[in-house]
Structures are given as C-alpha cells and as structure tokens.
Amino acid sequence: MTIELYDNWERRVRQFEPVHKEWVGLYCCGPTVYDFAHIGNLRTYLFEDILRRALELNGYTVRHVINITDVGHLLSDADDGEDKMERGSRRTGESAWAIAQRFTDAFKADMRALNMLEPAVWCKATDHIAEQIAFIQALEAKGYTYRTSDGIYFDTTKLDDYGYLARIDKAGLDAGRRVSLGEKRNVTDFALWKFSPAGETRQMEWDSPWGTGFPGWHIECSAMSAKYLEPWFDIHCGGEDHIAIHHTNEIAQNQACHGTRLANFWMHGHFLQLDAAKMSKSSGDFLRLQTLLDKGIDPLAYRYLCLTAHYRSPLNFTWEALQAAQSALMRLRTTYASWPAGGRPDQSFMERFRAEVNNDLNLPRALATVWELLKSDLAPAVKRASLDAVDSVLGFDLNRWQPAHLGEASIPDEVKALVEQRRQCRAAKDWKQSDALRAAIAELGYQVEDRADGMTVRRLAGQAVPADA
C-alpha cells in the first residue's frame, strides 16, 4: 500500500516516495516562544503528529525535527516591527531568555498532554547563530544579498521563480504596494541579518561579519534543516499562514545556496478558527490548552476534535463540538475497556483504516471506520486488538486509560445535588434544563452519562491514567 499526500508545491495529491530508503526527513516549523501556544497552533502540531504516525504505520523511520523560534520573528512577517521576544519580555517583565525557556517548557508540556510524539531533534534558533551566519555568508558569496542601514537583505529578483510555492504575482505585488520600501529594493526582499538599533543593546544580539545584531526569522529554518536533515529532504510542514512569506523565503534561501527547494513535499495545516477568524497569539484573544482543562475537558478530547476535521479544511472551534468530541472519546474508551484482550487485529478493518489514512490523512474517514468496527459483529477480543493496532495513529492511548471510577462517596454533594435535579428534569422531559445542568456538572469537573441502564457520573480524567499507576 502506498501513501498519498497533498503537496503544496505541485498543488496536488501525489504518491509519497522517500528521498532515502532508510529514513524520512520531516521538518516542522516550531513555536515562537513569546507566549503560550494557543489551541490553533496546537492543531497544526497535531496534524504533523498524525503525519508522522501515518508514515510510521507505513513502515518508515521518521527523523522528526521541530525548531524553537526564540529570536528574530518580528511582529510583522514582512520584517517590520519589534521582535516578538523582546515585546514578550516587556509585557511580562522577564528577560527574553527567561520567557523563551518558560514558554518552550509550556509548549512541550502541551504536546505531551495531547499525546504527541517527541521529535528526534529539538533545535532552537539561538543555539545555531554560527550556522545561520555561515548560511548568510554563502548567500553573500553567491551574490544574493545587499546591505542597507538596518541589515543584510536577500534580493528576491535574483531568482526567476521566487514565490512559486505561494504562486506570488510579483508584478501585481509591486503595482499594488502601498507601504514605503525604505531601503529595501523590492517589496518581497527579506532580512537575513538585522543590526541592533544604534545606541541600543538588545537582550539577544551577536557579533557577525556585518555588525552586531540578530538573524532574520527565515534563515534559522534553512540552516537547521540542512544541519539536522539535509538541504534536500522529504517533508516540510507548518500552518497555512507560512506559505506566502516564511516558507517562500526558506525556499529562496535554499535555492540560492543549495539549488534545492528544501523539501520534496510541502504540507500545511489549515487554521483553527474562533468566530470565523484565525485564532491568533498576536491578537491576544486566544484559548490555551489549559483553558480547556480548567473547564474539565480532557486534553485528548481536543485531539479527538482535531481528528474529526481534515487537516486541509478550516475547523471552527465551538464548546459544543468539543463536548461532543469528549463524549465520543469516552464512549470509545469505555467500550474498549469492556472488551477482553488476547485477539488479533481484523485484517479487512486494518486495510480500510490504512487506506483512509494513506489517502492524504483522511482522519475523519479513518475515525468513521473505527465506529463501524465498534458496531460490527466481530468478536470483542478482535475488536480490541484492532483498535490497539490503529491507536498507534490515533494516539488516544486507549490501553493506558482506566475509568476514573469513583465511589458514590467521593462525588461532592454539590455535584450529587445537580445530578438529582437533572434526573427530575429528564423525568419531566425538560431537555433544555437537563442540558444546562449537564454543563453545570461539567464545569465542576464531572461528566454525566445517560445510559440504557441508568445514569452514571464520572470525574473527567485530566489525562489518561497509566495502567500501571
């Protein structure tokens, strides 16, 4: 069976063929650590986690690299405005170095809570200043750079197909330009190295052959992917907002320096939206994973929610959809836990599941095959073994989950009272009030489930409980 993936360079789904037989290089642009990640950012990392698991399902060994952007990402992706790190430092009163560490740790904790696999390599921009300087020197030697009073820039007119990934209309961009270029020669030119402002000492700055300053945002990914993978590797990922500028400029750098467009496949996750707008850190209005946990949501319910939408479709966040995902996940867990071990996976189910995954990661369809499996008349032990096998892709850790069974005594009186009120509402067929009470119970961290054999109440598990705990 072969895996087919959508490549944004060619704008089509095509068959994946690895560059090397032995391993697949996967580079994912990492977080800019000036604040907590929002659940939109996390949607992109979940898509990348699924991609990696899908490749592993197909027998590939994946060399997965995630970078940490801890310098050089300016407020505007077009090289204007303040460095996001310096601004984050002003906002929190901590040093840029301290917030980089704090938000990197927070990001990794979110990844673990969502059951994302640890990459083979974490690399941060500030640890690779020498590699970035060497890359810029190579570009300079080949004649792609020029100097202005505030930095060293890449001259995008030197490449015939600059902007191909984003299908940029360069003539249109120039004609429609309203902002002043300053000393930049072309609107698409971008900074490789920025000088520290005269008379100012930045918190993060380094000496370079051109003067004291800091690297531009795009050069870190070209330099670190070449170091930890190669200048030509398999798959490069990020969110869809990276196509027009960040990835376009990474490609320009590699074309100029190495004659490659970095990666054979360019894959992008589409946005998580809130009220039809992109959820955004810089706008300040965002939901963190912790915000969901505070409301009694299991982090893996958010994972489940993301799997219900194809990665190339926008996903509009609603609390109702998240609650529904949580209920579905709980149903999956409890059903799985009720089945005996000792079976073998059903091959026909495995093939159907894998066909959906291999069809450009169609996880919504793959999940549908899981629900068909639950309803099927296969032996329970076979169903359990089959779910075990596909959980390597789904990442729900079903075999580590244990019901958070609580004796009646440990349910707080407040919750018990609400449950009793809800029972009376249901008897009176007051569904609206019954739903409101369910939400109130969830606010207190408990989930009420209506079943044929009665109503059960469980504490919402903060996280999967290891079987050996």
Ligand X SMILES: Nc1ncnc2c1ncn2[C@@H]1O[C@H](COP(=O)(O)OP(=O)(O)OP(=O)(O)O)[C@@H](O)[C@H]1O
Q: Which one of Zn ion, ligand X, none is in contact with 32 (Cβ closer than 5 to 8 A by kind)?
A: ligand X
Q: Applying CB under 5 A, does 257 fall inside the site for Zn ion? A: no
Residue nearest to ligand X (CB): 239
Distances (CA, A) of 385 to 102, 323, 328, 357, 373: 40, 27, 19, 18, 11
Q: Which one of ligand X, Zn ion, none is in contact with 327 (Cβ closer than 5 to 8 A by kind)?
A: none
Rounded Cα gap, residues 250 and 237, in angstroms: 12
Q: Does the annotation list 246 as a binding residue? A: yes
Of 184 and 242, which CB lies nearer to ligand X in the complex structure? 242
Q: Which one of Zn ion, ligand X, none is in contact with 221 (Cβ closer than 5 to 8 A by kind)?
A: Zn ion
Q: Does the annotation list 414 as a binding residue? A: no
Phi, psi (5° rounding) for residue 152? -105, 130
Choice from 29, 66, 111, 305 touching Zn ion (CB under 5 A): 29
Q: Applying CB under 5 A, does 221 fall inside the site for Zn ion? A: yes
Tokens of 332: 């999956």
Distances (CA, A) of 20 to 48, 233, 234, 264, 361: 20, 9, 9, 12, 22
Contact by Cβ (8 Å): 365, 359 = yes
Of 75 and 411, which CB lies nearer to Zn ion in the complex structure? 75
First to last CA, the chain: 38
* Residue list 395-414, contact with Zn ion (CB under 5 A): none
> CB of residue 68 vs Zn ion: minimum separation in angstroms?
11
> CB of residue 398 vs ligand X: minimum separation in angstroms?
26
Q: Applying CB under 5 A, does 5 fall inside the site for Zn ion? A: no
Report the alpha-carbon angle 13-14-19, nearest 5: 135
> CB of residue 237 vs ligand X: minimum separation in angstroms?
8
> CB of residue 246 vs Zn ion: minimum separation in angstroms?
5
Q: Which one of Zn ion, ligand X, none is in contact with 239 (Cβ closer than 5 to 8 A by kind)?
A: ligand X
Q: Applying CB under 5 A, does 28 fall inside the site for Zn ion? A: no
* Of residues 205, 193, 250, 192, the one with CA closest to residue 226: 250
Rounded Cα gap, residues 24 and 62, in angstroms: 5
Q: Which one of Zn ion, ligand X, none is in contact with 31 (Cβ closer than 5 to 8 A by kind)?
A: ligand X
* Of residues 269, 335, 331, the one with CA closest to residue 301: 331
* Residues making contact with ligand X (CB under 6 A): 29, 31-32, 40-41, 43-44, 238-239, 241-242, 269, 271-272, 278-282
Q: Which one of Zn ion, ligand X, none is in contact with 383 (Cβ closer than 5 to 8 A by kind)?
A: none
Q: Does the annotation list 250 as a binding residue? A: yes
Q: Does the annotation list 236 as a binding residue? A: no
Tokens of 430: 């007051």
Phi, psi (5° rounding) for residue 354? -65, -35
Q: Which one of ligand X, Zn ion, none is in contact with 271 (Cβ closer than 5 to 8 A by kind)?
A: ligand X
Of 110 and 391, which CB lies nearer to ligand X in the complex structure? 110
Stretch that binds Zn ion, among 26-34, 304-312, 364-372, 433-441 (CB under 5 A): 26-34
Q: Does the annotation list 281 as a binding residue? A: yes
Stretch that binds Zn ion, among 29-37, 146-154, 388-396, 419-427 (CB under 5 A): 29-37
Q: Which residues are annotated as a binding site for ATP?
A: 281
Q: Which residues are annotated as a binding site?
A: 29, 221, 246, 250, 281
Q: Name the site residues for Zn ion (rule: CB under 5 A).
A: 29, 221
